[in-house]
Structure 1
Amino acid sequence: MDDQTKMALAAAIAGGYVLGRTKKGKLALSVGTYLAGRRFGLEPRQLAAEGMRRLGEIPQVAELQDQLKGEVLEAGRKAVTAAATRSMGTLAATLHERTAGLGKKKEEEEPEED
């Protein structure tokens, strides 16, 4: 390791220590990863895509992903069905109330015969 790299590493460690002591570790980690990504010319989308691709190659993760995908789709279907049923029930109740209200108004508006 050359002297410049050692100095940068020492500065990074000292900065991390100071930021960690002042409860700013999350910010330091975010800034550090951003700067490292900029230095190596990496983009977040590329990193995420590469990470997902590599995770997909692991058989256990792929199996877990398939299992979760099925469960999430089923839960989503149930949620959409429940929301649609609730909305249709509300619509039906509103239409019933309005129809009943129209019938009452019509009876009230009819003139009484003398």
Structure 2
Amino acid sequence: MSDTTSIISNRPFSIIGTLVILVGLLVFGYGLLLVPVSVLGGGHIAAIGLSLVLSGLFATEWAGDRWGLSAADRRTLSLAFGVLAGLLLVAFVVVNFASFESGGVETVVEYVGDGS
């Protein structure tokens, strides 16, 4: 193993894990911003972000060192929270799609007769 490989593999935070954490924090923050408009919708989006943050966090070696998790346990937890984030996202899309009516725009036209 070369020195470059050992330096990269011994990092406590991987690039992908860090990106997932950052995206999760952005989604979580966006969900919190939406809470005043819609508590349920904002909370749902915040839960998606929190799941992404936890998925990325458990993908790091830091989490394994901090909580004494093996690589297999970290992988399982990361995958579980990633799947949870995906399921919450699908549920959000389905609920929002179902909340829109499929009918067209209704217009009311009032007929005013000539008075006869």
TM-score by length of 1: 0.37
Higher relative contact order (CA 8 A, sep 6+): 2
| TM, length-normalised to structure 2 | 0.37
Choose between structure 1 and 2: higher helix proportion.
Answer: 1
Structure exhibiting the larger radius of gyration computed from Cα positions? 1
